[in-house]
Structure 1
């Protein structure tokens, strides 16, 4: 293993190697932990050597975004625009799940990178090749929002039914030591249900798993695809009836 690492470090430095090492480091430790000095140390070079390939940290982030977006599958050919958009969005979701830091990096870029613009342009182009009007496509892209990257903000980040000792529980631990008191927790949940019965009903409708991104126990992938399919079905119906935003 050590010999393999030494061999890797002796490889000639180029932009692609710098970016791939940066992506791997961000995957492992988060993008906040990424520094030019740490990256240089990992690559076995002095920090100044990196600047021959990336002018600064912002350019490094741009290149990292380009690599991740490049992992998204190419658009499928054919008349099934709905299936093509669906597959593309789900491919984007898989790519960004492999690199949890990437969505924030994409959103933080002051100017979208060429790969980001290429991806968005291709999604729009798929709608247009499917016959959707410019008007409907414009509103469809707004409706998709960040979902075009495979993610969306969730309404219920955690369930009131979460483990009382779980730090992710919205009610929090019942004592400063974090041990929690199940009786007090249960009473608080009953009080919440009495005051907000419909929220409680929906939030506790499914068992929640604390590891879920959606919020403990909801199936992340199912919830995402459910909403995506609703949107795509809606776009298709509007397209079939000749919808336009001006009511014409």
Structure 2
């Protein structure tokens, strides 16, 4: 009788080298037995620093380079990785990669529109579509899409970002209904103002007056929510958009 091959389980975090993505990698290393796949596009040093922190947290990690906006880059990188790691299975996908190109809509340049849409929305498609069949065959999976309060309430100066994140929210709800019977959950996490590279230029002192909690959130707080959604404890939660914004919007 052939010996059953034990698959090594992985969690892929896109845009995992910095900010919320990096915090998620570290939290999953602490809370789970997943080997963390840390995706980055350009900042290899930041990815290596995150890998070091994953290992310091007692976890295992690997950095993997691809641009989520480029479907061929996604496919070739993940296929090359899978070829080397034949006993591996990606059970968790955290679609975290995203960019902002803020500006009033009347002056928005086409590139600023397309680049933001391509990263958040098409990035979600390119990565998840390439991996979803294996999750379905495996009959288990966790997909968490990082969205934003901007995708729920709309934010002036962020028509492109609001459009991208709003679309991912709708996709989250639709995909969750398609795959739930195979024990795959699909949820979205919608942060408000979180301390990160993306919010570094904002006037925190002024903006926190709008926030009932009277502060910006920490990336680690978002990461703890993601870690819960990835766990077996959250197996009956799917198709949800969970706000983490200090009460600014719900």
Q: Same fold (TM over 0.5)?
A: no
Report the TM-score when normalising by structure 2: 0.30
Ranked by relative contact order (alpha carbons within 8 Å, sequence separation 6 or more), the top structure is: 2
Higher strand share: 2
Higher helix share: 1
Report the TM-score when normalising by structure 1: 0.30
